[in-house]
Amino acid sequence: TQLKLVNPSQYRFEHLVTQMKWRLQEGRGEAVYQIGVEDNGLLVGLSEEEMRASLKTLRRMAEKVGADITVLREREVDYDSDVPRKITEVLVRKVPDNQQFLDLRVAVLGNVDSGKSTLLGVLTQGELDNGRGRARLNLFRHLHEIQSGRTSSISFEILGFNSKGEVVNYSDSRTAEEICESSSKMITFIDLAGHHKYLKTTIFGLTSYCPDFAMLVVSANTGIAGTTREHLGLAMALKVPFFIVISKVDLCSKATVERTVKQLERILKQPGCNKLPLLVNSDDDAVTAAQQFAQSPNITPIFTLSSVSGENLDLLKVFLNILPPLTNSKEQEELMQQLTEFQVDEIYTVPEVGTVVGGTLSSGICREGENLVVGPTDDGKFLRLKVCSIQRNRSACRVLRAGQAATLALGPFDRSLLRKGMVMVSPEMNPTICSVFEAEIVLLFHATTFRKGFQVTVHVGNVRQTAIVEKIHGKDKLRTGEKAVVRFRFIKHPEYLKIGAKLLFREGVTKGIGHVTDL
């Protein structure tokens, strides 16, 4: 917040510029300035003249640090003065020097037929749907998905915003690389499976791709159905802040839309959820929603829109443009100072490149040419390998930083030695692996009693394996809603786990969440 920036002295100007640099670093390349507001939050407002001069200074400051500014909104303050006074909020955005754009990952959840693939198609392709699913054909990866119109695998879609806050997408037949080049902020949508039978893919997506936010898509005409409640529960369990999009409002009456909104608000306010729904009806609401949502995770913005008529689609774009990256750079700095650790999520062979792995760097820094070890293998060993090249969002990149997702080419390394759930770490890490671990868990749902000898599929980050319950401390069995420390043993091979890691397990209708307490 800045009261006014009218003709500052050279010294004050330098000071303001330094402050802006710092704020941009903290916000990972983004900062919102409120002009006409005192530091204590008092809305004073500026006259037309002062505001013009202040914005001019802000532009000069931004130029000095190489940033762009966009006016988000201005509003009048009601004072008894004869001169109208205004407050202006301005978004300052700078692409960090090492051509790293701001990277936000949004997991997309929603019931089958809620219209989420269509919505993503419209956002990332830039043309409205014809009401028969044309927009989403661009998204489907597997033939059977186009035939059935359902998403089974996890697919990624990108939406860019340039530093002026304009949408950069595939609309001018740009390639992915071009979108990356001209965007200062990239939103990667992780489109997760909506159908019940693909729930394990969805859980894998939520735990291993570490999304910053989740977008829950609900169709206005069916309301809350099928897996919607489960998706809500998953987002809450994994503590991912989520916002809700009610789609297909072109298909129903205002009353129906309002009924769905009310239904959602009721669920969100329940003691288990404890969320504050915030219905977004105007640009102003969208700006407020993005700022408050990032500060307090219990606010849940709700959008009502149509991918066919395009109604209110812009409000969602405004929101996504301002949505700040969650982890601040202090956390990222700390993560970057730790030893390198890369989670392997996907493995493929690329002709003339060799073996390639995709995943997320969870800590440290990874450079081209670096020597790492990968494991654990079935007998618990780690093997040496070399990172030949790194690609991030489909373009080459020399250095990978904590929290970023990328694909690493490993050259002639034998692909059959790798599997999902492995980690690549720096050799001096001495990675801890275990076959037996303990976790404090809460049983969310269970049909029969949960006891020793029971087998469940355990998901921890990108690890997914069947484990057997060896012991429940202090009890011989668990019922729904009960908490306990449980000892699990992996059935096939040891895995790399960390204490404190979030865990999710399931078997048929049994579901539970918790965290690892002991290896």
Residue-level pLDDT at 304 = 93
| Backbone phi and psi for residue 420, each to the nearest 5 degrees, phi listed first | -55, 145
Q: What is the pLDDT of residue 137?
A: 44
* Percent over 90 (pLDDT), the chain: 20
pLDDT at 274: 83
Indicate the number of domains in the chain: 4
Higher pLDDT, 104 or 488: 488
Taking alpha carbons only, the member of 297, 274, 237, 241 closest to residue 502 is: 237
What pLDDT score does 221 carry?
86
Alpha helices in 3-108 (DSSP H): 10-26, 48-65
Can you tell me the distance from the alpha carbon of 138 to that of 120, in angstroms, rounded to the nearest whole number? 10
3 lies in some domain:
no
pLDDT at 280 (0 to 100): 94
The reply to whether 163 and 88 lie within a common domain is no
CATH code of residue 339: 2.40.30.10
Whether 252 and 278 map to the same domain: the answer is yes
Q: Of 65-74, 235-244, 348-357, 361-370, where does mean pLDDT reach its minimum? A: 235-244
- Using CA atoms, how far apart are residues 371 and 394, in angstroms rounded to an integer? 23
Task: Tell whether 410 and 513 lie within a shared domain.
Answer: no
Is residue 100 predicted with pLDDT exceeding 60?
no
What token pair was written down for 35? 């002009």
- Residue 183: pLDDT band (50, 70, 90) is confident
Write down the pLDDT at residue 372. 94
Residue 368: Cβ within 10 Å count: 16
pLDDT at 469: 94
In this structure, the answer to whether residues 156 and 262 fall within a common structural domain is yes
Whether residues 248 and 122 fall in one domain: yes
Of 291, 326, 361, which residue constitutes the final position of a domain?
326
Determine, yes or no, domain membership for 1. no
Q: Ramachandran region of residue 29, left (φ > 0), alpha (ψ -120 to 50) or beta?
A: left
Place of tokens 């202040």: 54
Q: Is residue 35 part of a domain?
A: yes
* pLDDT tens-digit series, residues 115-133: 777 888 788 776 666 555 5
Query: With the C-alpha atoms ordered 211, 366, 392, 417, is the resulting torsion angle positive or negative?
Result: negative
CATH assignment at residue 282? 3.40.50.300
Residues 6+ apart with CB under 8 A from 243: 213, 214, 215, 216, 289, 293, 300, 301, 302, 303, 319
Query: What pLDDT shows up at residue 425?
Result: 93
Q: Which residue has the higher pLDDT, 461 or 301?
A: 301
Specify whether 308 is located in the same domain as 243: yes
- Choose the final residue of a domain: 373, 406, 425: 425
Residues 448 and 338 in one domain: no
What are the b/e assignments for 429-442, b being 16+ CB within 10 Å?
bebebbbebbbbbe
Q: Is the pLDDT of residue 476 over 60?
A: yes
Same domain, 189 and 309: yes
Which tens digits make up the pLDDT trace of 391-432?
Answer: 876 677 888 888 777 889 998 999 999 988 889 999 888 787
Spatial separation of the C-alpha atoms in residues 501 and 512, rounded to whole Å: 14
The answer, yes or no, to whether residue 508 has pLDDT greater than 60, is yes
Predicted local distance difference test score (pLDDT) of residue 150:
41
User: Is residue 416 a part of any domain in this protein?
Assistant: yes
| C-beta of residue 244 within 8 angstroms of C-beta of residue 216 | yes
Whether residue 4 is contained in a domain is answered as: no
Are the C-beta atoms of residues 511 and 500 closer than 8 Å to each other?
no
Residue 409 CA to residue 3 CA, distance in Å, equals 51
Residues 355 and 368: beta-carbon distance below 8 Å: no
Among the listed residues 429, 431, 433, 446, the one whose alpha carbon sits nearest the alpha carbon of residue 481: 446
Looking at the fold, whether 151 and 244 belong to one and the same domain comes out as yes
Task: Answer yes or no: is 493 within a domain.
Answer: yes
The amino acid present at 495, given as its one-letter code, is E
Mean pLDDT of 498-509: 78
Where in the sequence is the domain holding 460, given as residue range(s)? 433-518
Query: To the nearest whole number, what is the mean pLDDT of the chain?
Result: 79
Q: Are residues 178 and 289 in the same domain?
A: yes
State the CATH number of the domain containing residue 78. 3.30.110
Q: Is residue 211 within 8 Å of 240, Cβ to Cβ?
A: yes
- Residue 334 sits in the same domain as residue 321: no
In the predicted structure, residue 12 carries a pLDDT above the cut 70: yes
If asked whether residues 208 and 313 sit together in one domain, one would say yes
* Nearest CA among 342, 355, 419, 358 for reference residue 394: 358
* Helix, strand, or coil (residue 136): helix
Smallest CA-to-CA distance from 69 within 17, 32, 27, 21 is with 32
Classify residue 454 by its DSSP letter: -
Which range has the top average pLDDT, 114-118, 139-143, 249-253? 249-253
Question: Is 2 within the bounds of a domain?
Answer: no
Q: Which of 326, 350, 382 is the endpoint of a domain?
A: 326
Name the phi and psi angles at 145, rounded to 5: -75, -35
The answer as to whether 407 is a domain residue is: yes
Q: Is the dihedral of CA 113, 117, 120, 121 positive or negative?
A: negative
- Global pTM? 0.60
Per the structure block, which two tokens stand in for 68?
Answer: 């762009």
Q: What is the pLDDT of residue 446?
A: 65
